[in-house]
Structure 1
Amino acid sequence: MPEISRRAFGGLVGGGAVTAVAGAAPAAEAAERPFEARPTASGRRPNLLVILGDDLGWADLSSYGAPHIKTPNLDRLARQGVRFTDAYAGSATCSPTRFSLYTGRYPGRTPGGLAEPVADRTQGLDPRHPTLASLLKKAGYATALIGKWHCGWLPDYSPTKSGWDEFFGNFGGVLEYFSKLGQLGTYDLYEGDAEYQDLRYYTTVLTERAVEYVGRKHDTPWLLNLNFTTPHWPWLAEGDAETGAEIAAKIRAAKSQAEVGTALNHYDGGSVAKYTEMVQSLDAAVGEVLDALRRSGQEENTLVLFASDNGGERWSYLWPLSGEKFVLQEGGIRVPTILRWPARVDGHQVSHEPLFTPDWTATLLELAGARPDPAYPLDGTSLAGYLLRGERLPERDLFWRVRANRALRRGNWKYYRDAAGKDHLYDLGADLREQADLAPDRPELLAELKASWERTAATLLPYPG
């Protein structure tokens, strides 16, 4: 078998998984060698910068088809690396997907992952569970999380209890962008385990912190999880401090957590124009961080992964997908995903390989030379061979379970059960919008996919009654 070069991702052209567009390098050079997370010319393993948008829909970037949203920085990132068209979140809501990223496992493997999403102080990611950060830390990485955690509150849960050396951000799932009042009705901006006062627009605050982190002199490779809250509601842009103050006043006057949620949800607010402004501010923020990375001299050997935590919501541009956040139709789980690693992966590529959040955990661990904990086996499949040697991924099922829905994808086939309990079968290759239900025509295939879903579901924790 011929060797595939270190920039071999473009070598999959013609295999049906990836399209190399103008500028991609040729693939093969000499005899094959097994992949290893070997040091680059700098003598260091890759830095890992993982950036999440919040409730960002699959087509909310101009490079994914949005006709009215301009995202030049993320579009440039896509040109410099790989844009994935069939990438999925680990779940249809915020915290379960974060559980799947941090653990590399289905959310239903852990009690905290059953919350959809985490909503009170009794729920969270058990600090004893190995995480992406704790495993990389054992392998010699510095680790930091900046932004939204949403895997539990103090005193029992925190990024610094789960493997991150540093934390600057919010514990909850949502907060008012200026006052920093969160879903529990309390102030929710912390440095480590201590409150940090800053009443400026939250996206700006997080961007400054991330710029500072990547610009430091680092003596070891690092992992930075940069989790923006943009463009999650309340729909506020940097010039909307007055509206933010009105929302904050409602939060302070609330007499229950439900009333806090109503105030934060901003039901009568937002618009396509406001949402566009927020997505474009996210793009600008990512651009600032990437500029800082370039100035630091670390760009070549830093793997940047950008994605969203779930599908879009009210103002997202999701065409042609059906559904949105909370449901397992394509609009609720298919997310924009971009990877760039100049030292090892060529740019100008588009991948159509189906993959989901736990795959990235397995991939990052392998690329960093870190080992999963055998007591907590991963549910994701490493993409390292696919990315670096042009290997085909094994046939596998992508699995999702939420209280209201179930879904499984195998190749182009998708099994979906809706909230009414009706089973559906779709051919996503011909019907991305999930309108032509083929369940009556292919009962044997439906039964096969349903049985596969049931086998996996039987290994997960049951939902509490």
Structure 2
Amino acid sequence: MSHPRPNIIFIVADDLGYADLGCYGGREAAFGPVSPVLDGLAAQGLKLTQGYSNSPVCSPTRFGLMTARYQYRLRGAAEEPINSKSRGSSTLGLPPSHPTLPSLLRAGGYRTALMGKWHLGYPPAFGPLQSGYEEFFGPMSGGVDYFTHCSSAGHHDLYLGEAEQQEDGYLTDLITEHALDFVERMAPGAQAGTPFFLSLHYTAPHWPWETRDDAALAEEVRQNLFHLHGGNIETYRRMIHHMDEGIGRIMKALARHGVDRDTLVVFTSDNGGERFSDNWPLVGGKMDLTEGGIRVPWIAHWPAVIAPGGESVHSCMTMDWSATMLDAAGVQADVDYPLDGVSLMPLLRDAAWDCERPLFWRMNHRGQRAMRLGEWKYLRVDGNDYLFNLADDERERANRAKVDPERLAAMRAAWEAWNATMPAIPEDATVSLGYSVKDMPQR
């Protein structure tokens, strides 16, 4: 059965942990359910329990999202992540000449916008409007204060198009408002046959730890945007709830305009959680290739195609969802930039579908590498090799390397063969959280 080309909304949270949402086992907050809207989308759509991000840090995953290819193919993604020191660089960013998810969709007749975080290089060499988006509102950098909208370097970092935008308000709400405005303007065209693609990239629940009611903290945070001395679990959960409320408003707008049935909404996180996140039962978090750093929520809702109540153990990565969106839209990849991502359209039609293929990661930090194939995972950290059966041991505690050396050798050889097809990590590539790990409480 054929369907109209869907509108597409790709929602990306920032540093959200695997179990932060209620539908992934997250605990209720003191104020009640943390994510009722997203829980509802999962119940009425498809939830994946074995889905991954392309990287355990922000910028590289976003390269994978934008290109539907392994981020290692681009020099900018070797910086983990791109930070304010990259301002003015003509190297560290997403090249405007590279085809992207929005540029391909736009060429295929879609209206396109990014509302939220960019984090793929600074103007004038790079920017959303140079990589396929018609409209943009949000910060260029990785993290900004929710009220002053200043980056860790102290620069005001809020843009409308390519011009700085002074706009009062809590950033999560501002991103929602601009996304709503886009949907309101595009819905009539969508009804008439011109679909839209909206990247909705919230900065929540990334530091600093500020809720909608915490404007008084802005001056305190100005001195240390990483907010090492602040925050708590309840604040963190409230930040997620504010994002969830915004998503609810957008879903209501889709329904009000009668385009909800033919809109594919996908939700995920750019990497695993950070300080206050819940990754249970996974170990590790942001910066790690252990499961807590790369396994993330994946929720898809598209009433015209996806049956309610679906749950899948299919393993996938960020770039697969970008390939899926191109497939759903009937848009072909550029022949000179073949996709590494694999379309999940069969999964959207049938939650029982599965297709085993290897997934690969590498990380400059601590010489990390990882591969997943079926229920098995190969991991290297600090020169030590590990082999885990994730079906039995999601916490990666029982190293099977010595009892199954043949499997370890085969997976290590497969990883090295894959790695040989990727550009080497440049010697000058840096990796940084933006603050010293020694300042943080140790796990």
The TM-score with structure 2 as length reference comes to 0.91
Candidates 392, 407, 411, aligned match of 2:374? 411
**Quick one: which amino acid aligns to residue 143 of structure 1?**
T
- Whether the 8 Å CA contact 1:180–1:199 is kept in 2: the answer is no
Counterpart of 1:269? Answer: 230
Report the Cα offset of residue 115 of structure 1. 1.2
The aligned residue for residue 386 of structure 1 is: 347
Q: CA deviation at 1:393?
A: 4.3
CA distance in structure 2 between the partners assigned to 1:407 and 1:437 by the alignment:
14
| Cα deviations by residue, 1:356-398 (Å, 9 ceiling, x for unpaired) | 1111111111110100112111111111123226784443101
How far residue 291 of structure 1 moved from its aligned partner, in angstroms, is 1.2
8 Å Cα contact 2:207/2:226 also seen in 1: yes
* 1:229 correspondence with 2:193: no
Q: Superposed, which structure 2 residues align to 1:366-445 within 5 Å?
A: 366-388=327-349, 392-403=353-364, 404=366, 405-418=368-381, 420-445=382-407
- Determine which of 291, 298, 308 is the counterpart of 2:259: 298
Q: How far apart, CA to CA, are the structure 1 residues paired with 2:323 and 2:237?
A: 33
Q: 1:39-438, aligned counterparts within 5 Å?
A: 40=3, 44-69=4-29, 70=33, 71-119=35-83, 120-121=86-87, 122=89, 123-216=92-185, 217-219=188-190, 220-248=194-222, 250=223, 263-388=224-349, 392-403=353-364, 404=366, 405-418=368-381, 420-438=382-400
Tell me, in whole angstroms, the C-alpha distance in 1 between the residues paired with 2:219 and 2:252.
Answer: 32
TM-aligned CA distance change 1:238 to 1:392, over 3 Å: closer
**What RMSD in Å do the two structures reach over aligned CA positions?**
1.2
Does the Cα contact within 8 Å between 1:214 and 1:296 map onto a contact in 2? no
* Counterpart residue identity of residue 105, structure 1: R
Structure 1 letter corresponding to 2:70:
Y
Q: Structure 1 residues 390 and 208 mapped into 2: Cα distance closer, same or farther (>3 Å)?
A: closer
Deviation track 1:241-283 (CA, whole Å, cap 9, x = no partner) reads: 11112222x2xxxxxxxxxxxx110000111111111111111
Residue 462 (structure 1) shift: 1.6
Q: Quick one: distance in 1 between partners of 2:148 and 2:239?
A: 17
Deviation at 1:176, TM superposition (A): 0.5
TM-fit CA distance, 1:463: 1.6
Structure-1 separation of matches of 2:170 and 2:352: 44
- Which piece of structure 1 moves more, 275-284 or 81-90? 275-284
CA distance in 2, matches of 1:276, 1:389: 33
Q: 1:319 to 1:305 in 2, by over 3 A?
A: same
TM-score between both structures, scaled by the size of structure 1: 0.87
SS of residue matched to 2:38: helix
Is the Cα–Cα contact under 8 Å of residues 307 and 349 in structure 2 kept in the other structure?
no
Q: Is the 8 A contact 1:439 1:446 kept in 2?
A: yes
Please give the per-residue CA displacement for 1:218-263, whole angstroms capped at 9, x wherever unaligned. Answer: 2511100000000000011011111112222x2xxxxxxxxxxxx1
Number of residue pairs the alignment of both structures matches: 411
Deviates more, 1:94-103 or 1:115-124: 115-124
1:203–1:442 CA distance, 2 compared to 1 (3 A):
same
* Distance in structure 1 (CA, Å) of the matches to 2:212 and 2:413: 49
Determine the C-alpha separation between the residues in 2 that align with 1:289 and 1:320: 31
> Structure 2 CA distance, aligned partners of 1:93 and 1:315?
16
Change (3 A) 1:125 1:460: same
Q: Secondary structure at the match of 1:118?
A: coil
CA deviation profile, 1:190-211 (whole Å, cap 9, x unmatched): 0110011112100010111111
**How far apart are the structure 1 equivalents of 2:225 and 2:189?**
38
Give distance in 2, aligned partners of 1:180 and 1:352.
Answer: 39
Report runs of 4+ in structure 1 exceeding 3 Å deviation. 389-394
- CA distance, structure 2, for counterparts of residue 337 and residue 366 of structure 1: 18
Distance 1:450 1:384 in 2: 30
Unaligned runs of 5+ in 1: 1-5, 7-37, 251-262
Q: Secondary structure of the equivalent of 2:66? A: helix
Give the aligned partner of residue 26 of structure 1. Answer: none
2:406 aligned with 1:461: no
Using the TM superposition, give the Cα deviation of residue 288 of structure 1 relative to its aligned residue in structure 2, in angstroms.
1.2
Cα deviations across residues 370-429 of structure 1 (Å, max 9, x unaligned)?
0011211111111112322678444310111111311100000000001x2100000000
CA contact (8 A) 1:90 1:100 kept: yes
Report the Cα distance in structure 1 between the residues aligned to 2:250 and 2:205, rounded to whole angstroms: 17
1:277-325 deviation line (CA, Å, top 9, x unaligned): 1111111111111111111211000000000000001100111100000
Q: Percent identity?
A: 46
d(CA) in 2 for partners of 1:390, 1:423:
34
- Residue 378 of structure 2 aligns with an amino acid whose one-letter code is Y
| Distance apart, 1:178 and its partner CA | 0.4
Report the alpha carbon displacement of residue 68 of structure 1 after superposing the two structures with TM: 2.7
Deviation at 1:464, TM superposition (A): 1.7
Decide which moves more: 345-354 or 216-225: 216-225
Q: Secondary structure at the match of 1:339?
A: strand
Q: What is the deviation of 1:169?
A: 0.8
